[in-house]
Amino acid sequence: MEGIELDCIMVHVLEAGLTFLEANNPKNRPSVKGFNIINGQLAESSDGATFDSRNPALLRDVLVAFHLSTKEAVDAALDAAHAAFPAWSATPAPTRGQIIGNMGRLLMEHKDDLVRLQAREIGKTLKECGGEIQEAIDTCLFFQSEGRRLYGQTVNSELPDKELFTYRRPLGVCGIINACNFPSAVPFWKMIPAIMCGNTCVWKSPQDSPLLSFALARIMHQAGLPDGVINLVHGKGSGAGQHLINAVDEGRVNKISFTGSTAVGKMIGEVCGRNLVSCSLELGGKNPLVIMPSANLENAVEGAYWAGFGTAGQRCTSLGNLIIHKDIYDEFVAKLMDKVHSTRIGDSLEHEGVLYGSMLSEKYAKDFLEVIQICEQDGATKLYGEGRITSDNKPSGFVGTAEDGVYMWPHVYAGVTEDMRCFHEEMVGPAITLVTADDFDHALHLANASPYGLSSAIYTNDRLEAYRFKTGIKAGMTGINNSTTGAEAHLPFRGDKGSGKGTRESGIWVIEAYSYWHAVNDELSGKLQLAQMDVDEIEMVEAEVRWDELV
């Protein structure tokens, strides 16, 4: 394949691998043509249709035109994954771990370039993109050693001359679908343990970050991954994504791992359920953060501010309902609003010190503007926020030219109660809703009152309150004197209720998502022995005890 240029760096993507070179001019951001990767080869879609990946922080900056994958392309990727499965699953797990370790080292080598590419493609800040690429690195390094720890057990039999064993076995072909808000960390959360367990994958890249996905896939192959183990297809959720889900009904997919909206997750769950296919669903959230009177208010303000507006509020773990005890409500809100008013917003590729950048895409912006209308329809009081930032409508902290990208004001709504729709609706964007709590029990009730259960947090220096919160909250994750956001590669990640079903992401627990237990009994006696039926019964003998002699 010919060399292709991208971002403020040039990336030469060759069939043999991937190398990065700095461009002389950081504003030289040429666009390129992208491909699917099927069985290790660059592949075009059968009908030639394409879509653009556009920088949301600089809309005139089109990074790449990628192929819209047809059903034929998805089928070809599935064929390659099925063909690669026997050899890959038979590869010793420590060898699979070594390849994954190579991936981590290549990510470290190219980290700075990947960070700039990700920042350009989805508009997140360089600092956040750096943390996310590091999460992918940490995942690789963690699972490299798990290749030597895919333990089974030996189990004692109830019969003589017989051995019992358990083994972890791979599921088969896994369909991987992730959102674009975490386009490097989340697919590595999914695919690294999947291939560690011996599975093969068809990865449908996010529509808004296909070029980063392409670069990551090439790094995986450069690390020594055999052809067909991970196959990458691009397109819309209603196109390539739907073709991949439909393949579950066709009996061609053994596992679906999905990160996205609750509505789509429910549809995927229905398809997998009727086919008895395993699925992992990491979905939306309306994450509560409780502030109690004993809290360090400065620390709590920092945590709430970051949880609400980091990543422009486009994390599934972003703060939704900020629940504040009535005794400190006014003081806390005053401190919080001082920070909100000073928020620095802009393109981190051009300006330093910004808290958040653009929305992830025009679609994310459109959806956000629609959902915040619910707050005003419900009668909530808007303390701050004026929709989309323009040259004539911008906060004092905005830097740059507003019309260049898709930028939003930070929004804060007060007077929200649990009978309002905006208390329950997820708002993917820079907006938080303020709720007043009468006491701890009321705060815990409010924290559990939404249909979601992803992340949660409480700021308190009362250890009993902290204990009662972590034992009473119905959520997959809880922070104590920390924000609702943040995950580490070795800690389980996922929610409950409307926020997800299936096994957790990350850590040793995710191995359950990509393997099944195989029980084996090895009869050494040379004869048929039947458990429960051929076991000699042990008769109980009552011992005669002379109690008077024990006195």
Residue 442: Cβ within 10 Å count = 15
Answer yes or no: are the C-beta atoms of 432 and 384 closer than 8 Å. no
Select which of 129, 197, 316, 375 is catalytic: 316
Rounded mean pLDDT of the chain?
91
Q: Which amino acid belongs to residue 525? A: S
Question: CATH 3.40.605.10: which residues of the chain?
Answer: 34-40+69-149+171-282
Q: What is the pLDDT of residue 32?
A: 63
- Is 316 tagged catalytic? yes
80-84, 123-127, 271-275, 482-486, range with the lowest pLDDT: 482-486
- In the chain, % of residues over pLDDT 90: 83
Task: Enumerate residues 6+ apart whose C-beta is below 8 A from 138.
Answer: 104, 488, 489, 490
Nearest partner of 178 among 119, 115, 257, judged by Cα: 257
pLDDT tens profile 12-38: 433 323 333 233 333 444 456 789 999
pLDDT at 77 over 90: yes
Question: CATH 3.40.309.10: which residues of the chain?
Answer: 287-489
Q: Which CATH superfamily is domain 287-489 in?
A: Aldehyde Dehydrogenase; Chain A, domain 2 (3.40.309.10)
CA distance 425 to 284: 10
CA distance 48 to 192: 31
CA distance 21 to 9: 6
CA distance 469 to 290: 9
Q: Which residue has better confidence, 61 or 489?
A: 61
pLDDT tens profile 318-373: 999 999 999 999 999 999 999 999 999 999 999 999 999 999 999 999 999 999 99
Average pLDDT, stretch 494-511?
88
Answer yes or no: are the C-beta atoms of 297 and 328 closer than 8 Å. yes
Q: pTM to 2 decimals?
A: 0.91
Sheet holding 230-233, edge to edge: 41-43, 36-38, 230-233, 200-204, 173-177, 255-259, 278-282, 500-501
pLDDT tens profile 416-440: 999 999 999 999 999 999 999 999 9
pLDDT at 503 over 90: no
pLDDT at 7 over 60: no
Q: Which residues pair with 519 in a beta bridge?
A: 166
Answer yes or no: are the C-beta atoms of 468 and 459 closer than 8 Å. no
Residue 52 is given by DSSP the state E
pLDDT tens profile 516-544: 999 999 999 999 998 888 888 888 887 77
Residue 112 is given by DSSP the state H
Q: What is the pLDDT of residue 361?
A: 95
pLDDT at 45 over 90: no
Question: pLDDT band at residue 551, thresholds of 50, 70 and 90?
Answer: low
User: Scanning the structure block, which residue is given the tokens 């360090």?
Assistant: 296
CA distance 538 to 225: 55
Residue 318 is given by DSSP the state S
pLDDT tens profile 452-467: 999 999 999 999 999 9
Element (H, E) at 281: strand 278-282
Q: What is the pLDDT of residue 295?
A: 98
Cα atoms in the 13 Å half-sphere on the side-chain side of 403: 2
Residue 209: Cβ within 10 Å count = 26
Architecture of domain 34-40+69-149+171-282 in CATH? 3-Layer(aba) Sandwich (3.40)
Residue 415: Cβ within 10 Å count = 16
Q: What is the pLDDT of residue 17?
A: 31
pLDDT tens profile 139-197: 999 999 999 999 999 999 999 999 999 999 999 999 999 999 999 999 999 999 999 99
CA distance 541 to 218: 70
CA distance 511 to 55: 35
- Residue 226 CA, distance from chain mean position: 25
User: Scanning the structure block, which residue is given the tokens 């059968």?
Assistant: 46
**Structure tokens that stand for 352 in this block:** 């330093």
Q: What is the pLDDT of residue 24?
A: 30
